[in-house]
Structure 1
Amino acid sequence: MKINNNLLEYSLNNAKQVSNEQKTDDFKKILESAKSSNDDEKLQATCKQFESMLLNMLMKSMRKTVVDGGLIEKSHAREMFEGMLDEEIAKEASKEKGIGLAELMYKQLSKGV
């Protein structure tokens, strides 16, 4: 049975959008919870999570600029692998000091706590 590529692509894009919206909603809830409970560790973890999300979006945008071609042909499996790879690279890059965004956000947001 052959699956229509347009239907599969639509389903993947829809799933990605729902996943991104869910992550944004989760981030908002965690941030509000950290601010209301005056939990510095939770606020700091939330800022690191935001930095990771931003780096992931940056990686995805950068990957879109790469010209198709090369050793491995473009497929849904490759897109899925690259998406997971970008997510893990972003998580690792945001650990410790990361790019410094989490630290700046924490300083700014902790003033209001």
Structure 2
Amino acid sequence: MAPDLPKAIALYFAGENNDEASVVPRCFTPDAVVHDEGHDIKGLQAIAAWKASSKAKYQHSIEPLRVSHRDGHTVVIGRVTGNFPGSPADLEFSFGLADGLISSLEIR
């Protein structure tokens, strides 16, 4: 059974799995920051470009497995399956929320 997720986070994962770049402005704040693979991606345009690039490169899907809360963040463990060594892999997605939208995301 999928964990119960805040609306913006559920929308983020649905967009990842359905390859919908249009979800970015509906789930991220305008000044959101994503930290992935050692890089910071800032703002909606950059996040949309990162999302499209990652999808093209890894052709991945994500299954949220567990959710917890730590230091003011919503932490989701997700099973990422795609075109990369070690697939599938369980990764940690740490979301900061502001006004119901994602203001920060760190993927580890």
TM-score for both structures, normalised by structure 2: 0.27
Larger Rg: 1
**Which structure dedicates a bigger proportion of its chain to helix?**
1
- The structure showing larger relative contact order (alpha-carbon pairs under 8 Å, at least 6 residues apart) is 1
**Which structure dedicates a bigger proportion of its chain to strand?**
2
